[in-house]
């Protein structure tokens, strides 16, 4: 991008396009450890049928993942364990290119694999089979898992269940030591440089970034990028969603909900204020010149280089880049989320009480030859033993159990857990990210996520982070945010699948 006029024209064009966006899908994997609710512990799920010593028949499941990703290694130990014990082999296809173009081709040719991640276009095209009767008959563990959310999962157009939500079903005690949601993110090095200030407003944020970039025009020999914006494909919230948070509203996607009514905010004055600020920052040379032409992989590569000082994003979306920085030993270049508002009279509302992640997860396609077998596999993998394997790994290799029965990791195991290459051989993330999962805690009291295990979180903090948090008087990075209030009935609005032919659609 060039100067002020050209930048504003581009931003204005994007703004006009956003008028048509009423509900922007803004969460894929996130919301898993950021709430403060404490639901009652569910009854233990049943043990899956067919997991005794009887011989398992091998079968293959083709899977389409609606986002970019990397293939697991052929000798991945978790997928091998699934194959050995349950007979299943996954054949993953990850999105390459534009999602709408890919879906258009799939729908036109009815070319569907056995399982696909959720997408309302695929649902409208009749690409998924209804699951409620199959679950009732063949998947008692999944039925128990979703029983409190059964009606919420039904498609508003015909009342069927097509997608098994991947996040938002909680069990037992919740812990919030890690925040996965939206925020303005800033490098820890920037805050440390200026004495660990508490940044509350948009003006303060860009002022710090500007001063740091002026003082350090390069980082590790590469030009310093003040502010990065992700606006690629369906990941457009980096440009569109910030205004709602700046006025103290939670993440409802492309709308702000007031008194039960949703209003598009892209044409409101409070959105204009934000884009004017971006235009000003661009004129000062703070915004990346490639921000409107880069793709997601290029965005992650820049974050992984340690040269980007700040951005608006959701933590789960760039976690792999942060893992890379940690692996490189660049702890000071990792990020802390700050819940910015326009002025200090506004209470921030970035954190939420994690809702059910509707329309995200796996569905079984109409082309699947044996949907019952697939569903039985998913039913087995939702049991506690398998959930522990999918989240923590293999006991003795990936974590240890101390005398108190608490799951912990040694430093070598912690370091491996943030290594992307190690994960491809030792984690089943391609499946688990979109699969049904237990969140909160297991029946033995251990957290379902190592990042949410309080003693493991504290033991795993790097010395840099211990010093950083101590400077602020915080126990974890979640403490930068205000406690979330109870969710509104329709929250989050972006998950609502509007009825075909309705006035809202």
- pLDDT per residue as tens, the chain (505 positions): 333 333 333 333 333 333 333 334 444 444 333 333 334 445 444 555 444 455 679 999 999 999 999 999 999 999 999 999 999 999 999 999 999 999 999 999 999 999 999 999 999 999 999 999 999 999 999 999 999 999 999 998 899 999 999 999 988 766 678 898 999 999 999 999 999 999 999 999 999 999 999 999 999 999 999 999 999 888 899 999 999 999 999 999 889 998 888 999 999 999 999 999 999 999 999 999 999 999 999 999 999 999 999 999 999 999 999 999 999 999 999 999 999 999 999 999 999 887 888 889 999 999 999 999 999 999 999 999 999 999 999 999 999 999 999 999 999 999 999 899 999 999 999 999 999 999 999 999 999 999 889 899 999 999 999 999 999 999 999 999 998 888 887 788 887 776 656 666 5
**In a domain? residue 197:** yes
The pLDDT of residue 485: 85
The pLDDT of residue 66: 96
Asked if 267 and 153 sit in the same domain, the reply is no
| Residue 138, C-beta contacts closer than 8 angstroms, at least 6 positions apart | 372, 375, 376, 379
Adjacency order of strands within the sheet including 225-228: 225-228, 308-314, 182-187, 335-338
Count of domains in the chain? 2
Distance CA 205, CA 200 (A): 8
The pLDDT of residue 451: 87
**In a domain? residue 479:** yes
Asked if 246 and 171 sit in the same domain, the reply is no
**In a domain? residue 141:** yes
Which residues lie across from 205 on neighbouring strands? none
Quickly list DSSP for 390-415.
HHT-SBTTTBEE-TTS-EE--HHHHH
List the one residue out of 146, 243, 159 whose CA is nearest residue 202. 243
Token pair listed for 372: 């019952």
Q: Is the preceding omega at residue 492 within 30 degrees of 0, hence cis? A: yes
Token pair listed for 221: 């020999």
Distance CA 196, CA 194 (A): 6
Asked if 205 and 327 sit in the same domain, the reply is yes
The CA radius of gyration of the chain, in Å to the nearest whole number, is 23
Eight-state DSSP code of residue 385: H
**In a domain? residue 458:** no
The pLDDT of residue 30: 41
Asked if 262 and 323 sit in the same domain, the reply is yes
Q: What are residue 239's phi and psi, to 5 degrees?
A: -105, -35
Which residues lie across from 126 on neighbouring strands? none
Distance CA 113, CA 63 (A): 6
Quickly list DSSP for 100-164.
HHHHHHHHHTT---SEEE--HHHHHTT-B---HHHHHHH-HHHHHHHGGGTTTTB-TTTS-B--E
The pLDDT of residue 7: 37
What CATH number corresponds to the domain at position 131? 3.40.190.10
**In a domain? residue 416:** no
Beta strands in 201-287 (DSSP E): 218-219, 222-223, 225-228, 255-258, 261-264
Token pair listed for 58: 């091998």
Asked if 110 and 207 sit in the same domain, the reply is no
List the one residue out of 285, 312, 306, 297 whose CA is nearest residue 226. 285
| Domain extent for 107 | 59-176+355-399+428-444
Asked if 190 and 251 sit in the same domain, the reply is yes
Asked if 239 and 287 sit in the same domain, the reply is yes
Asked if 345 and 221 sit in the same domain, the reply is yes
Distance CA 205, CA 343 (A): 12
For residue 283, CA distances in Å to 8, 184, 214, 279 come to: 10, 20, 14, 6
Asked if 69 and 110 sit in the same domain, the reply is yes
Sign of CA dihedral 358, 18, 309, 219: positive
Asked if 85 and 151 sit in the same domain, the reply is yes
Asked if 90 and 171 sit in the same domain, the reply is yes
């Amino acid at each position: 991008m060039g100067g002020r006029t050209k930048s504003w024209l581009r931003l204005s064009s994007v703004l006009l396009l956003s008028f048509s966006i009423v509900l922007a899908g803004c969460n894929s994997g996130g919301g898993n450890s950021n709430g403060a609710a404490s639901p009652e512990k569910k009854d233990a799920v049943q043990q899956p049928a067919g997991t005794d010593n009887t011989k398992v028949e091998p079968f293959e499941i083709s899977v389409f993942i609606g986002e970019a990703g990397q293939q697991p290694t052929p000798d991945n130990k978790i997928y091998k364990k699934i194959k050995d014990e349950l007979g299943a082999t996954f054949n993953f296809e990850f999105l390459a290119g534009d999602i709408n173009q890919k879906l258009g081709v799939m729908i036109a040719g009815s070319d569907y694999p056995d399982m696909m991640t959720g997408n309302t276009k695929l649902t409208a095209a009749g690409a998924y089979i209804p699951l409620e009767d199959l679950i009732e008959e063949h998947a008692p563990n999944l039925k128990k898992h979703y029983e409190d959310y059964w009606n919420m999962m039904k498609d508003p157009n015909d009342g069927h269940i097509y997608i098994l939500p991947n996040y938002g079903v909680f069990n037992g005690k919740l812990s919030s030591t890690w925040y996965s949601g939206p925020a303005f993110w800033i490098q820890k090095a920037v805050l440390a440089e200026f004495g660990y200030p508490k940044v509350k407003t948009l003006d303060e944020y860009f002022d710090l970034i500007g001063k740091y970039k002026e003082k350090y025009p390069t980082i590790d020999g590469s030009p310093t990028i003040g502010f990065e914006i992700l606006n690629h494909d369906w990941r457009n919230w980096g440009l569109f969603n910030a205004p709602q948070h700046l006025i103290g509203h939670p993440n409802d996607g492309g709308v702000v909900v007031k008194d039960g009514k949703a209003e598009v905010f892209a044409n409101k004055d409070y959105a204009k204020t934000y884009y004017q600020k971006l235009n000003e920052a661009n004129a000062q040379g703070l915004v990346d010149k490639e921000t409107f032409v880069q793709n997601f992989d290029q965005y992650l590569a820049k974050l992984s280089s340690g040269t980007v000082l700040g951005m608006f994003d959701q933590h789960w979306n760039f976690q792999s880049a942060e893992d890379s920085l940690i692996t490189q030993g660049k702890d000071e270049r990792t990020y802390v989320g700050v819940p910015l508002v326009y002025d200090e009279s506004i209470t921030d509302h970035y954190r939420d009480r994690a809702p059910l992640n509707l329309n995200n997860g796996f569905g079984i396609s109409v082309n699947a030859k044996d949907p019952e077998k697939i569903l039985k596999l998913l039913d087995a993998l939702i049991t506690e033993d398998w959930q522990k394997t999918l989240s923590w790994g293999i006991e003795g290799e990936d974590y240890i159990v101390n005398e108190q029965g608490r799951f912990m990791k040694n430093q070598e195991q912690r370091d491996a857990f943030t290594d992307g290459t190690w994960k491809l051989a030792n984690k089943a993330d391609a499946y688990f990210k979109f699969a049904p999962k237990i969140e909160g805690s297991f029946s033995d009291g251990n957290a379902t996520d190592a990042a949410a295990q309080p003693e493991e979180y504290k033991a795993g903090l790097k010395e840099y982070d211990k010093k950083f948090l101590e400077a602020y008087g915080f126990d974890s990075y979640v403490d930068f945010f205000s406690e979330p209030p109870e969710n509104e009935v329709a929250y989050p609005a972006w998950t609502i699948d509007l009825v075909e032919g309705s006035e809202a659609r």
